[in-house]
Amino acid sequence: MITRTLGTGGPDVSAIGLGCMGLSHGYGQAVADQDGIALIRAAVDQGVTFFDTAQIYGPFTNEDLVGKALAPVRDDVVIATKFGFSFDGSQITGLDSRPENIRATVEDSLRRLDVDSIDLLYQHRVDPEVPIEEVAGTVKELVEAGKVKHFGLSEAGVDVIRRAHAVQPVAALQSEYSLWWREPEEHILPTLLELGIGLVPYSPLGKGFLTGAIRSTTSFGESDLRGSLPRFTEEARAANQALVDLLTAVAARKGTTTAQIALAWLLAQHPSIVPIPGTSKIHRLQENTGAADVALTPQDLKEITDAADQVDVSGDRYPEHMQRWINR
């Protein structure tokens, strides 16, 4: 696996990371611990060195799982986690990036991950009640104390990125970005390139839609978040199929899979972009990591981008109660 550096001062990581959320949260029943550990260790064997988790995944159980799985190779991998929510037991009650909550929950993350230092610590969502300067200043203290190595933001807007970066250098922004959601290209990505900040796209395969495995007739289980997303209604999926058909045609010509084309397109956008597709299946893991070896020509990229420009993606990506947590 080739490696990339997140921004100008961030960690060196595999060109494709592993988003671990779906092993515990969001896409139906959590996998058994032994299966999750096996999947994560298979990723290590595939050359993956960048693993993404968060306090909210589970909540909490995903950090435990990632910590157990990576304990034997701790010094060879980069582990990212996130803070920024409040909990009543295991129930999420809202946003909370107060300095005292950051400090307390980071201690919990260190314990669950069984590490001395968190490689990359993101604010999961911008908290409008806490100035970002206070948040960045608190993380700066944690960096100086050796408990955190790099600071990141998630789904933050340009103003917040600039203000945070002025207090504590931001190594990476995590944001949804794919051929299905290209909003970061307008303002976010140019700002990151200007400041030397890496971009870590989550849902780089459109929560599975860009793999071609999801059709308008696909049904989702009660605990699968996609069943509540406007972009995954039956009508929206039918309307958005044109984008998948485009990727499928390019994949057939290149002798790859649809998912690999979608990931290779992302990798080609800039050398400091590191997508983190998630999966619970070994064969999908192998498929995703194989995208790092897919070479798209300038003509391929132009064809994909020009065609995607013509597809008017249907459906909001989140319902209103989730969208309010995203700061632009």
Give CA–CA dist 154/157, Å, rounded.
9
The domain that holds 125 is classified in CATH as 3.20.20.100
137 within domain boundaries? yes
Domain that holds residue 199: 3-323
Kindly report the pTM of this predicted structure. 0.96
pLDDT reported for residue 272: 97
- Quick check: is 57 catalytic? yes
Give CA–CA dist 317/196, Å, rounded.
28
270 within domain boundaries? yes
Please identify every stretch of the chain with a pLDDT value under 50, giving residue numbers as ranges.
none
280 within domain boundaries? yes
pLDDT reported for residue 310: 85
19 within domain boundaries? yes
Between the alpha carbon of residue 308 and those of residues 25, 36, 244, 255, the distances in Å are: 30, 34, 10, 20
291 within domain boundaries? yes
Secondary structure class of 151 (helix, strand, coil): strand
Question: What total of structural domains would you count in the chain?
Answer: 1
Kindly name the residue from 27, 57, 122, 177 that is annotated as catalytic.
57
pLDDT reported for residue 72: 98
pLDDT reported for residue 265: 98
328 within domain boundaries? no
56-86 per-position pLDDT tens digit: 999 999 999 999 999 999 999 999 999 999 9
75 within domain boundaries? yes
Judge contact between 211 and 248, C-beta under 8 A. Answer: no
